[in-house]
Amino acid sequence: MRRWPFGRWIVVAGIVVGLGFLAGGLLLAHEKAIVAFGEGGGAALLTMGLLGIAQRFWRGDKVTGADAGGIGVKFGEATGEAVEKVEKVVGEVNTRVSEQMTTVNDRLYDLEKVVLKEDNADEKG
């Protein structure tokens, strides 16, 4: 467990905080379960978000943009190599999905022909 990436520790910390808020809401504050669950989930997400931002600062990344309304922070710029890899993967996925959708459409068309043929035969008697 000591060799986990820091992101996994962030998730574990978020879960622990979320469960703490859930238990505290149920046992100490005697809140309704849905309210305690909402507070626990919110606390977990907030913890993970703040620790994720702290991790980026710790690595030395610089903030290039922030958004208070959408609660977003943008760090650095993606490298050209990373963008090319992402574009390549997205292109491959798009090709595979398009091929699979063509196959599904062909099968559906064949199924419709069979069903319509049976319906026409039933109507003729």
Please give the full DSSP string across the chain, using - where no structure is assigned.
-TTS-HHHHHHHHHHHHHHHHHHIIIIIS---HHHHHHHHHHHHHHHHHHHHHHHHHHTT--EEEEETTTTEEEES---HHHHHHHHHHHHHHHHHHHHHHHHHHHHHHHHHHHHHHHHHHHHH-
Task: Name the nearest CA neighbour of 42 among 70, 23, 14, 69.
Answer: 14
Asked if the model's pLDDT at residue 62 lies above 90, the reply is: no
Read off the pLDDT of residues 66-116 as tens digits, 9 standing for 90 and up.
676 666 666 666 556 666 777 888 888 888 999 999 999 999 999 988 888
Q: What is the model's pLDDT at position 45? A: 92
Q: What is the model's pLDDT at position 118? A: 76
Mean pLDDT over all residues of the chain?
83
pTM of model > 0.75: no
Whole-number percent of the chain with pLDDT over 70: 78
